[in-house]
């Protein structure tokens, strides 16, 4: 046979590689972590897509590039990316930076392992178990199960799949054709992943029954019960109620205790989507918002949102002690989950999920929690509530800010009414003009890069801002700035 080419060439020069990583690390510290959290810097450096594509030269080619060029690329990616850790980034349900969590994330990336077997992830198998146990304890469960998922959407979908399997285990092998039509109950204000899940799992979005909410956006348990009964009378089987603790737009908390009563009466799986709100469980002062959560069957909770653990960090928690998660999701692949290993194969947790590769998302949360303790995490939650209270007080003192609802959580939903529109509520074009205010202010805001905040319509309410407070970096000054800036950007409209 022909001589084989040089097989000892490592292709990658490890000391040069580490040097590069060192330089890249410095850029990250400087551009992302120093400038990116500096209130005097911009939140974003807006570019039109065409211009950005030119600036960044995304094209991939046959030949590689010199190290200096690549470091410049690292710098450019940082420069033109949104600074989500900036104290004036109020745009999403995540923000801020925690350095211990970030250290954990760097460590995860460097270790580059998969959380499926004890063999390949001994530390993380045990760590995940403990983190899940601690989260369950806050829910109020001394026993149970759980798993970290790539996002709250997946956590919500797993809950649906578990509820389905518990009711009709044959669905796993025979498919939905073998079982009666299933219905999922949730409010119109729940997260869209409930819809996506119903479609993806083959249940269909038409089989979501929309439950009415009260004026605060909370499920009305009486309506839930009526709809469950109606559904049954129509021959479908009520599968799951997906309640929300902290709805995406309004931040509403569904009344869990009263929903639990209904679920118990009708023997329906109670799922709590606490992706956003779950972290109130750390706070003595605010955990009452989730009173009754211990009666749920499952809880989805994203520490990457309010706790600032970093994307992604989402836990699905279960009260179940019958190994439902594994029974429902397992495929028993013998190449990965051999049964003749030299350790307890129950430590091979990978078959509890529908994923194969799975990241050790527990590490960032664990390290952060070790660093500040439950007390430190509670302080973050409480601080955010206080800032919101302050913001609302200030808003009330200014003309032109119209709060849509009294915030129950950290979502402050409001219209800004420019001076030219004040007192003109009766005009025929008022709603159309109002609908246009937020998009225009938003456009000006991102083009100037001073801050970021989201807006949306909801039901019959035209576009309004949804201000979200998360990051511990945020101060009273930032709240005042926020109001000033909305005025500055919108006063001429």
Ligand X SMILES: Cc1ncc(COP(=O)(O)O)c(C=O)c1O
Q: Is 412 left (phi over 0), alpha (psi -120 to 50) or beta?
A: beta
User: Can you tell me the distance from the alpha carbon of 424 to that of 414, in angstroms, rounded to the nearest whole number?
Assistant: 17
Pick what 244 binds: a copy of itself, ligand X, none; C-beta below 5 to 8 Å, kind-dependent: ligand X
Pick what 230 binds: a copy of itself, ligand X, none; C-beta below 5 to 8 Å, kind-dependent: none
Phi, psi values for residue 236, rounded to 5°: -95, 160
Rounded to a whole number of angstroms, the minimum distance from the CB of residue 200 to ligand X is: 13
Q: Residues 258, 259, 263, 269: is their CA dihedral positive or negative?
A: negative
HEC secondary structure over 272-314: EEECCCHHHHHCCCCHHHHCCHHHCCEEEECCCCCCCCCCCCE
Which of residues 302 and 471 has its CB atom nearest to ligand X in the complex? 302
User: Can you tell me the distance from the alpha carbon of 327 to that of 122, in angstroms, rounded to the nearest whole number?
Assistant: 22
Pick what 445 binds: a copy of itself, ligand X, none; C-beta below 5 to 8 Å, kind-dependent: none
Q: With contact defined as beta carbons under 8 Å apart, do 268 and 182 qualify?
A: no
Residues 6+ apart with CB under 8 A from 287: 280, 281
Any bridge partners for residue 145, and if so which?
A: 318
Which of residues 89 and 225 has its CB atom nearest to a copy of itself in the complex? 89
Pick what 207 binds: ligand X, a copy of itself, none; C-beta below 5 to 8 Å, kind-dependent: a copy of itself
Rounded to a whole number of angstroms, the minimum distance from the CB of residue 39 to ligand X is: 25
Beta strand 452-458 pairing with 269-274: unpaired
User: Can you tell me the distance from the alpha carbon of 27 to that of 25, in angstroms, rounded to the nearest whole number?
Assistant: 5
Rounded to a whole number of angstroms, the minimum distance from the CB of residue 154 to ligand X is: 7
Which of residues 225 and 478 has its CB atom nearest to a copy of itself in the complex? 478
Any bridge partners for residue 298, and if so which?
A: 271, 318
H-run or E-run covering 401: strand 401-403
Which of residues 73 and 212 has its CB atom nearest to a copy of itself in the complex? 73
User: Can you tell me the distance from the alpha carbon of 221 to that of 366, in angstroms, rounded to the nearest whole number?
Assistant: 36
Of the CA atoms within 13 Å of residue 367, those in its CB half-sphere come to 21
Which of residues 126 and 356 has its CB atom nearest to ligand X in the complex? 356
Pick what 273 binds: ligand X, a copy of itself, none; C-beta below 5 to 8 Å, kind-dependent: ligand X
Rounded to a whole number of angstroms, the minimum distance from the CB of residue 276 to ligand X is: 4
Which of residues 317 and 437 has its CB atom nearest to ligand X in the complex? 317
Q: Which residue is nearest to ligand X (CB)?
A: 152
Pick what 392 binds: ligand X, a copy of itself, none; C-beta below 5 to 8 Å, kind-dependent: none
Pick what 14 binds: a copy of itself, ligand X, none; C-beta below 5 to 8 Å, kind-dependent: a copy of itself
Rounded to a whole number of angstroms, the minimum distance from the CB of residue 187 to ligand X is: 11
Rounded to a whole number of angstroms, the minimum distance from the CB of residue 289 to a copy of itself is: 19
Q: Which residues bind ligand X (CB under 6 A)?
A: 93, 151-153, 191, 193, 244, 246-248, 273, 275-276, 302, 314, 355-357
Pick what 102 binds: ligand X, a copy of itself, none; C-beta below 5 to 8 Å, kind-dependent: a copy of itself
Which of residues 297 and 314 has its CB atom nearest to a copy of itself in the complex? 314
User: Can you tell me the distance from the alpha carbon of 368 to that of 246, in angstroms, rounded to the nearest whole number?
Assistant: 23
Any bridge partners for residue 456, and if so which?
A: 464
User: Can you tell me the distance from the alpha carbon of 382 to that of 441, in angstroms, rounded to the nearest whole number?
Assistant: 30
Rounded to a whole number of angstroms, the minimum distance from the CB of residue 424 to a copy of itself is: 21
Which of residues 189 and 223 has its CB atom nearest to a copy of itself in the complex? 189
Rounded to a whole number of angstroms, the minimum distance from the CB of residue 422 to a copy of itself is: 23
């Amino acid at each position: 046979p022909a001589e084989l080419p040089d097989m000892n060439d490592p292709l990658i020069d490890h000391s040069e590689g580490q040097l590069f990583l060192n330089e890249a690390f410095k850029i990250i510290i400087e551009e992302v972590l120093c400038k990116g959290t500096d209130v005097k810097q911009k939140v974003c450096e807006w570019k039109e897509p065409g211009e950005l594509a030119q600036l960044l030269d995304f094209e991939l080619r046959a030949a590689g590039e010199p190290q200096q060029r690549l470091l410049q690329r690292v710098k450019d990616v940082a420069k033109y990316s949104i600074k989500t850790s900036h104290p004036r980034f109020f745009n999403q349900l995540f923000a801020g930076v925690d350095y211990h969590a970030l250290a954990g994330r760097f460590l995860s990336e460097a270790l580059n392992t998969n959380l499926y077997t004890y063999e390949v992830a001994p530390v993380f198998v045990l760590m995940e178990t403990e983190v899940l146990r601690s989260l369950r304890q806050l829910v109020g469960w001394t026993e149970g199960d759980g798993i970290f998922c790539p996002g709250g959407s997946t956590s919500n979908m797993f809950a649906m799949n578990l509820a389905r399997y518990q009711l009709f285990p044959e669905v796993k092998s025979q498919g939905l054709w073998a079982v009666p039509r299933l219905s999922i109950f949730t409010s119109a204000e729940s997260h869209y992943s409930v819809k996506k899940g119903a479609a993806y799992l083959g249940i269909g979005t038409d089989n979501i029954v929309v439950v009415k909410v009260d004026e605060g956006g909370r499920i009305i348990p009486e309506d839930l019960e009526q709809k469950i009964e109606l559904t049954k009378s129509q021959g479908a089987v009520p599968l799951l109620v997906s309640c929300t603790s902290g709805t995406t737009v309004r931040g509403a908390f569904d009344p869990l205790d009263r929903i639990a009563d209904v679920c118990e009466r009708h023997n329906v799986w109670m799922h709590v989507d606490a992706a956003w709100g779950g972290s109130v469980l750390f706070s003595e002062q605010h955990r009452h918002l989730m009173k009754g959560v211990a009666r749920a069957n499952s809880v989805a909770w994203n520490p990457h949102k309010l706790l600032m653990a970093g994307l992604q960090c989402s836990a699905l928690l279960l009260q179940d002690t019958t190994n439902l998660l594994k029974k429902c999701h397992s495929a028993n692949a013998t190449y990965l989950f051999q049964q003749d290993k030299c350790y307890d194969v129950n430590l091979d947790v990978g078959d509890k999920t529908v994923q194969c590769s799975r990241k050790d998302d527990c590490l960032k949360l664990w390290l952060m929690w070790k660093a500040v303790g439950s007390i430190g995490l509670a302080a973050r939650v409480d601080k955010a509530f206080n800032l919101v209270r302050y913001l609302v007080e200030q808003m009330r003192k200014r003309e032109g800010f119209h709060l849509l609802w009294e915030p129950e959580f950290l979502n402050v939903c409001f219209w800004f009414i420019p001076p030219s529109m004040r007192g003109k509520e009766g005009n025929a074009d008022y709603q159309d003009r109002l609908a246009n205010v937020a998009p225009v202010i938003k456009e000006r805001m991102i083009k100037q890069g001073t801050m970021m905040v989201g807006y949306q319509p909801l039901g019959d309410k035209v576009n309004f801002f949804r201000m979200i407070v998360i990051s511990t970096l945020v101060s009273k000054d930032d709240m005042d700035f926020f109001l000033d800036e909305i005025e500055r950007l919108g006063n001429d409209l």
